[in-house]
């Protein structure tokens, strides 16, 4: 007959084991936000496709229902941007960053901010305006694909730059945490979503030349966003905001104010903020070019 062994575990060892178990549980939190990001991207794609199906009828009721689906798809991309911003920040704060989490986040961004906006721009915009098989329709296909492939390239370049920092002439490795090289793919995807949220009625509902004009402008915007993602234009990352006590208070107040404005006037505030951010990078690059040319002339 065997006698039960008594546990010789001390209170300190038990507390350490409990902390290790708690720390293992913390790894789930960032992955949960990433999973929510993927879920929103999937919902956005399905909502855009459902809205596109309703455009075949062409009645006012079906157009109104399609507009609701397009708006919901745009909202899903916006919520995904919030989840995408939280998962990395939570992982850094809790020190639970993992290699698989980094790769999963990139794959989620390809779906949510690459595929979903490309599909949304096609279904809400030029997909139903131009005749199937026409040159304009084929160009719309091409631009949506280029938006996706440029976004994937942007993510790949960001991952490489993060894991292999640029080595300076003096041999010290340095990563520019203040700026992004190229327009971030969440900003590009959210810009298309904000435009749809601003005017959820499909472009095919505009009769005559207005629908063609709006579709052409949308195609130009998609092409511009795709180019900016693979460009070397620098955009602020805002990662250094709130590092000091004073800047933290200001950042919290600004975040609260912007959050309330988005809640009350989302259709106007979102498109205004994203448009200002895109123009900021372009104007900064233009100012640097002008200063360089002026100094060269002197």
d(CA 226, CA 218): 12
d(CA 210, CA 207): 6
Residues in contact with 94: Cβ distance below 8 Å, sequence separation at least 6, in sequence order: 26, 29, 30
**Residue length of the chain:** 298
Burial status of residue 183 (CB atoms within 10 A of its CB: 0-12, 13-18, 19 or more)? buried
Q: What pLDDT does residue 289 have?
A: 73
Q: What pLDDT does residue 90 have?
A: 75
d(CA 129, CA 207): 9
Write out the H or E segment, with its range, that includes residue 133. none
Q: Please answer whether residues 130 and 137 qualify as being in contact, where contact means their C-beta atoms are separated by less than 8 angstroms.
A: yes
Residues in contact with 50: Cβ distance below 8 Å, sequence separation at least 6, in sequence order: 69
Q: Along the 298 residues of the chain, how does pLDDT read in single tens digits?
A: 555 554 555 655 545 555 554 455 566 777 888 899 999 999 999 999 999 999 987 788 899 999 999 999 999 999 999 998 887 777 777 776 677 777 888 899 999 999 999 999 999 999 989 988 889 999 999 999 999 999 999 998 888 877 665 544 444 445 556 778 889 999 999 999 999 999 999 998 887 788 899 999 999 999 999 999 999 898 887 766 655 566 677 778 888 898 899 889 989 999 999 999 999 888 888 887 777 776 766 6
The pair of structure tokens assigned to 199 is: 């005017």
Q: Does residue 173 sit in helix, strand or coil? A: strand
Q: Which residues pair with 234 in a beta bridge?
A: 181
Q: What pLDDT does residue 99 have?
A: 72
* The CATH number fitting domain 21-239, selected from 1.20.120, 3.10.350, 3.30.70, 1.10.287: 1.20.120
């Amino acid at each position: 007959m065997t006698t039960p062994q008594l546990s010789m575990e001390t209170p300190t060892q038990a507390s350490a084991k409990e902390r290790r178990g708690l720390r293992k549980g913390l790894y789930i939190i960032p992955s949960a936000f990433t999973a929510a990001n993927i879920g929103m991207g999937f919902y956005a794609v399905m909502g855009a496709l459902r809205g596109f199906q309703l455009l075949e009828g062409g009645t006012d009721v079906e157009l109104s229902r399609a507009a609701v689906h397009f708006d919901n798809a745009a909202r899903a991309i916006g919520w995904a941007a919030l989840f995408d911003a939280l998962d990395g920040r939570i992982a850094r704060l809790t020190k639970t960053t993992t290699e698989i989490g980094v790769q999963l986040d990139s794959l989620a961004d390809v779906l949510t901010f690459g595929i979903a906006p490309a599909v949304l721009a096609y279904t809400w915009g030029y997909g139903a305006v131009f005749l199937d098989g026409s040159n304009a329709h084929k160009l719309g296909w091409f631009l949506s694909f280029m938006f996706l492939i440029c976004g994937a390239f942007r993510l790949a370049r960001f991952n490489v730059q993060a894991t292999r920092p640029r080595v300076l002439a003096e041999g010290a490795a340095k990563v520019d945490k203040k700026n992004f090289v190229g327009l971030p793919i969440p900003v590009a995807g959210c810009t298309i979503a904000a435009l749809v949220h601003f005017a959820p009625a499909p472009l095919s509902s505009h009769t005559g030349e207005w629908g063609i004009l709006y579709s052409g402008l949308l195609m130009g915007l998609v092409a511009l966003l795709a180019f900016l993602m693979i460009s070397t234009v620098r955009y602020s990352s805002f990662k250094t905001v709130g590092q000091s006590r004073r800047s933290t208070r200001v950042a919290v107040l600004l975040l609260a104010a912007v959050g309330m404005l988005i809640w009350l006037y989302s259709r106007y505030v979102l498109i205004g903020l994203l448009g200002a951010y895109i123009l900021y990078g372009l104007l900064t690059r233009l100012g640097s070019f002008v200063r360089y040319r002026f100094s060269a002339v002197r």
